[in-house]
Structure 1
């Protein structure tokens, strides 16, 4: 690829001001030349002040005419993107320094015009930054086996790809959950290659929150309906992995404990990760609050060696968080009752 590389970053948003500002600032810090497209999915809250301030920074803000959820918002952002390549970022996640250059250098190499780059990820959970396990990708492995049998992460905020591939393979707008896995599986079946970058490119917000889309009985049922539709050709291990990696925690988070324990038992036929099975069982037996305290106590008794990468990521998160709050306050003051306009 020659020097014409230009990256568009698509961020869907609904009712978020502070975390959206944090996400946008994190991209701008890494490369001010990237095109940032925010697609508002019919927010109930008045975000005109914040959107006006973002537009003044050069961010494109697009408004959906009705609430159509994240898949449709991302598809619109891709359709209107001016870049040669597209990255996705959820509005509560944070882009890490150096990611733009890693994406540019990856696609500068020949033969990668039909490859999806999956950046590594860190996790932000209740103020702590953690480094999740990400297994290696071996050539010839299927995407579904990687995600469910091996426990690999291929989530939306981790994805970068040529814009033409993104347009040819849009998100399924009828899905409310499992959109990222569904998209990746369809691209894999179409012969699109995947490359797993071990270097973290994003910090994902995974703090428990009652308003998260993934919480609730309805989303557990929707995910299971998707699984039943898609899993006809999956291996027994991939099916077990779905129950362990997806079904168990959705049921537990929605308060359906007996069903969650039944799903955990199902994940043992065949077993795919005894350690993860034990962790989830202990979490459900003790309750999330007690389990979190037990984990914190264990870490204090047997602290892990200091990880400079996690320390730096935590400092960056807190700095961006403070700057985002100041950004929102400034936007409200500047608006002074004058509504902004969005496209």
Structure 2
């Protein structure tokens, strides 16, 4: 007899307090029935006060003894969770209302036991909510073709799946970058199917800020090394798409402009999106500040199709509301710090 549906949401965390609280609040607002598992990847910061507040919200908190990276934290969360199905959420992203019910209804249908449900996403970029293009899934299309040729989004916080699948195909703990695409590729090779949910289920934080592990010279080189290992059987269009969507911005963000322009030229053989190529070229020539002003002026004077709709407006209100509530929780946690048990004991999971 099959078990009753139970969803576990796994949130890895490293040194984040405010955004982690915001992420957990967003999940808990959607349903009290969701099991939330936070795995602390051996943070340098003392987050014991914030973790105590999370436990008050029935969040289970675990701590890695040594830092092992986000993939290891996600695998730990899967092992510790008790759900029949698991969703992933990065600690700076926001879960959207209604996602729990959509996941439950999808997996109640027959024939979905070997399928990954990919939630739709909105983007939070420097205070603005944006709606990215998400192409439909074409039957017979490989995951790598969908991501790099079709420019489809397949990111950690969008993934929902039966727990047996991620136990069969766990996160690759040796990777620091390209973790989600690598996972999807291995699932694809294992015969796992994918379904794209057109409804937004997450707001992804994509504001440019220093210190993100996805930027910097080292991660640009690690990503390219992964590409060279994995791309031997990719189509020319998928290889072009990798350079356009991955290589170019990693090099540009780490200050390697000359290499970024070479990668941009590499993305033209064959071109997969002339518009995106032109946008990235303009952003590199103008620089981030001037490009942001140009883009803002263009959007102000030209109403783009579907520029701001009711969903985006509601998402913006949700983001700001959660942000304010998370700030209040963190302030209360800090005010009450030092009055409870020893931080080294409170950071361990309380069953």
Bin the TM-score by the shorter chain.
over 0.9
Residues 59-91 of structure 1, C-alpha deviation per residue, up to 9 Å, x if partnerless? Answer: 000000100010000000011110000000000
**Mapping 1:243-258, distance limit 5 Å:** 243-258=243-258
**Mapping 1:233-248, distance limit 5 Å:** 233-248=233-248
d(CA) in 2 for partners of 1:209, 1:300:
24
Q: Hey, what does 2:66 align to over in structure 1?
A: 66
d(CA) in 1 for partners of 2:334, 2:154:
36
Residues 270-306 of structure 1, C-alpha deviation per residue, up to 9 Å, x if partnerless? Answer: 1110000000000000001100100000111113464
Contact 1:2–1:108 under 8 Å retained in 2: no
**Mapping 1:52-201, distance limit 5 Å:** 52-201=52-201
Contact 2:89–2:156 under 8 Å retained in 1: yes
SS at match of 1:50: helix
d(CA) in 2 for partners of 1:232, 1:69:
27
How much has 1:333 moved relative to structure 2?
Answer: 2.3
Gaps of 5+ in 1: none
How much has 1:3 moved relative to structure 2?
Answer: 7.5
Q: Indicate the larger mover: 176-185 or 48-57.
A: 48-57
Q: Hey, what does 1:332 align to over in structure 2?
A: 334
1:14 has 2:14 as partner: yes
d(CA) in 2 for partners of 1:198, 1:51:
34
SS at match of 1:112: coil
Q: Hey, what does 2:325 align to over in structure 1?
A: 323
d(CA) in 1 for partners of 2:338, 2:41:
25
d(CA) in 1 for partners of 2:3, 2:166:
20
d(CA) in 2 for partners of 1:2, 1:103:
17
Residues 39-65 of structure 1, C-alpha deviation per residue, up to 9 Å, x if partnerless? Answer: 000000000000011112210000001
Residues 241-261 of structure 1, C-alpha deviation per residue, up to 9 Å, x if partnerless? Answer: 000010000000000000000
1:342 has 2:345 as partner: no
1:295 has 2:295 as partner: yes
Q: TM-score, normalised by structure 2?
A: 0.96
d(CA) in 1 for partners of 2:228, 2:309:
41
d(CA) in 1 for partners of 2:116, 2:181:
13
How much has 1:166 moved relative to structure 2?
Answer: 1.0
d(CA) in 2 for partners of 1:301, 1:129:
18
Q: Hey, what does 2:265 align to over in structure 1?
A: 265
Q: Hey, what does 1:48 align to over in structure 2?
A: 48
Gaps of 5+ in 2: none
d(CA) in 2 for partners of 1:4, 1:217:
47
d(CA) in 1 for partners of 2:156, 2:78:
13
Q: Indicate the larger mover: 263-272 or 2-11.
A: 2-11
d(CA) in 2 for partners of 1:82, 1:14:
23
Q: Hey, what does 1:31 align to over in structure 2?
A: 31
SS at match of 2:199: strand
d(CA) in 2 for partners of 1:287, 1:337:
48
Contact 1:51–1:342 under 8 Å retained in 2: no
